[in-house]
């Protein structure tokens, strides 16, 4: 009896390596051109020169991202539908919903801070999750939906500005600060938002950008004559920061990616000048952020303004050392450290060499990672202002420093984005230090494998 024809799978589970020969990439942090090795699920390829992760392969990336994004959206819907936190003191209490942490600030003439809060914890994460679902739905159908490439380009741009996890830490700090003054009750929304923040983090980590772009637009060959084991800029090449594809630059050092359409530049234009300008602006804004009060507390008719440092000192006097340490690190150490680190990197660019460029690149990665965590203080203010509303008995209002400090956080994040770490590797290298192997060979990317617990080997 003849066998019935089986239906072709709707999801292409074939990795890009099986149908594309010798896929080349230019590292976005040191500009080194390498050939990607075949990868299996759970493996990643790192740049042999600076250690930057070039590609991270996932098992069933479309199904995993779709399931996580749907679960995160459901958790967000629950977080917006139920009470978030309630408090009571002396027979007077208040109960707030998640959205009120932003809308209450508008009543205190802080629309910019309110907009930043609502965007970073609700709007941008929701847009991101909807974009992931739209993309993966098309890939599961083996027929990309309209605007898929534009959405795929935007995902990486949205990632740094989603701060649901930072908001949870801010909520915990707020609860610890209020616990000694009033009775606190956590609503269903609080636990739903905790689940949402965790699922959102898992969703961002589940995105296999290399597989996604291969499924959307294939893998065009690298320009003819591309040499591995060298930097891309001298070859008039550049790697796309969005999809990773290597493209050819024109005489002016510009180009367009053939796969995603993003602009190609050998180096970010005026990187040092823009970084210096943003650092100067952040430094200027950091002064009023520390001089003016970030919030004012009214208790039994007595008004007490509190600066960032004053709030830390008050927590220490109350014995809340862990909370004081968190606020001090996030609001003082991180912003100042980031300003100093980026300024130092800008100064040493011209004196960099391959021996110290690796260390300086790791410092840059650290500054880029920690910048968003300074928003903890802004979220603490937003939560306390919305929650503590008991008239002259007890109330908290935002101070002018909230806007200034929020500006410092945003500007320093932009400064890290405008700094091009490839400049650290552009200085002429001594002959003995060149990482060139014998004629005709080149170093391969370092491949690591992650197990189910996230350990590498």
pLDDT at 297: 81
The pTM score is 0.86
Residue 17 counted as domain residue: no
- Asked if residue 419 belongs to a domain, the reply is yes
Range of the domain at 392: 61-213+269-425
Mean pLDDT of the chain: 84
The answer to the question of residue 23 being in a domain is: no
* Number of structural domains in the chain: 1
User: What does the pLDDT look like over 234-274, one tens digit per residue?
Assistant: 999 999 989 889 999 988 888 999 988 889 998 998 999 99
Secondary structure of the chain as H, E, C letters: CCCCCCCCCCCCCCCHHHCCCCCEEECCCCCEEEECCCCCCCEEEECCCCCCEEEECCCCHHHHHHHHHHHHHHHHHHHHHCEEEEEEECCEEEEEECCHHHHHHHHCCCHHHHHHHHHHHHHHHHHHHHHHHHHHHHHHCCCCCCCHHHHHHHHHHHHHHCCHHHHHHHHHHHHHHHHCCCEEEECHHHHHHHHHHHHHHHHHHHCCHHHHHHHHHCCCCCCCCCCCCCECHHHCEEECCCCCCEEECCCCCEEECCCCCCEEECCCCCHHHHHHHHHHHHHHHHHHHHHCCCEEEEECCEEEEECHHHHHHHHHHCCCHHHHHHHHHHHHHHHHHHHHHHHHHHHHHHHCCHHHHHHHHHHHHHHHHHHHHHHHHHHHHHHHHHHCEECCCEEEEECCHHHHHHHHHHHHHHHHHHCCHHHHHCCCCCHHHCCCCCCCCCCCCEEEEECCCCCEC
- Percent of the chain, pLDDT > 90? 42
Question: Given a cut of 70, is residue 95 above it in pLDDT?
Answer: yes
Residue 44 predicted with pLDDT over 60? yes
Tell me whether residue 98 is in a domain. yes
Residue 16 has a pLDDT of 72
Q: Has residue 2 got a pLDDT over 70?
A: no
Higher per-residue pLDDT: 8 or 185: 185
pLDDT tens-digit readout, 122-142? 999 999 999 999 999 998 888
Q: How confident is the model at residue 438 (pLDDT cuts 50, 70, 90)?
A: very low
Q: Which pLDDT band holds residue 17 (cuts at 50, 70, 90)? A: low
pLDDT band at 397 (very low <50, low <70, confident <90, very high): confident
**Is 39 domain-assigned?**
no
Query: Does residue 125 lie within any of the structural domains?
Result: yes
pLDDT value for 320:
74
Domain assignment present for residue 43? The answer is no
Residue 234 lies in a domain: no
Higher pLDDT, 393 or 377: 377
């Amino acid at each position: 009896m003849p066998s019935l024809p089986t239906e072709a799978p709707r999801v292409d589970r074939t990795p890009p390596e099986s149908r594309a020969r010798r896929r080349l990439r230019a590292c976005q942090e040191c500009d080194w051109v390498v050939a990607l090795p075949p990868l299996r699920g759970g493996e990643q390829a790192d740049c042999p020169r600076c250690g930057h992760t070039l590609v991270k392969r996932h098992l069933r990336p479309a199904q995993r991202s779709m399931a996580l994004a749907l679960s995160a959206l459901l958790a967000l819907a629950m977080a917006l539908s139920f009470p978030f936190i309630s408090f009571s003191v002396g027979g007077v209490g208040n109960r707030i919903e998640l959205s009120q942490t932003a809308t209450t600030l508008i009543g205190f003439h802080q629309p910019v801070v309110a907009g930043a809060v609502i965007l970073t914890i609700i709007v941008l994460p929701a847009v991101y999750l909807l974009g992931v679902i739209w993309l993966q739905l098309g890939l599961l159908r083996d027929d990309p939906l309209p605007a898929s490439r534009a959405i795929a380009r935007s995902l990486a741009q949205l990632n740094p500005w989603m701060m649901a996890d930072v908001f949870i830490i801010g909520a915990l700090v707020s609860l610890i600060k209020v616990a000694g003054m009033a009775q606190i009750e956590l609503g269903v929304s609080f636990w739903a938002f905790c689940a949402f923040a965790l699922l959102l983090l898992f969703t961002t980590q589940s995105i296999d950008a290399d597989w996604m772009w291969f499924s959307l637009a294939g893998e065009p060959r690298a320009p003819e004559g591309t040499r591995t084991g060298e930097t891309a800029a001298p070859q008039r090449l550049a790697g796309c920061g969005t999809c990773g594809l290597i493209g050819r630059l024109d005489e002016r050092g510009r180009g367009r990616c053939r796969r995603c359409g993003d602009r190609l530049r050998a180096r970010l234009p005026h990187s040092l000048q823009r970084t210096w300008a943003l650092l100067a602006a952040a430094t200027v804004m950091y002064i009023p952020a520390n001089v003016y009060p970030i919030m004012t507390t009214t208790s039994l008719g007595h008004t007490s303004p509190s600066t960032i440092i004053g709030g830390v000192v008050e927590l220490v006097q109350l014995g809340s050392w862990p909370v004081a340490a968190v606020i001090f690190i996030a609001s003082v150490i991180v912003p100042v450290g980031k300003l100093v680190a980026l300024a130092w990197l800008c100064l040493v660019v011209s004196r960099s060499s391959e021996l110290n460029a690796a260390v300086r690149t790791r410092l840059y990665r650290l500054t880029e990672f920690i910048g968003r965590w300074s928003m903890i203080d802004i979220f603490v203010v937003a939560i306390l202002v919305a929650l503590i509303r008991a008239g002259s008995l007890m109330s908290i209002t935002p101070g002018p420093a909230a806007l200034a400090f929020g500006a410092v956080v945003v500007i320093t994040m932009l400064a890290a984005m405008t700094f091009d770490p490839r400049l650290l590797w552009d200085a002429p290298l001594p002959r003995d230090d060149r990482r060139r192997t014998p004629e005709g060979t080149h170093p391969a990317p370092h491949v690591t494998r992650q197990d189910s617990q996230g350990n590498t080997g």
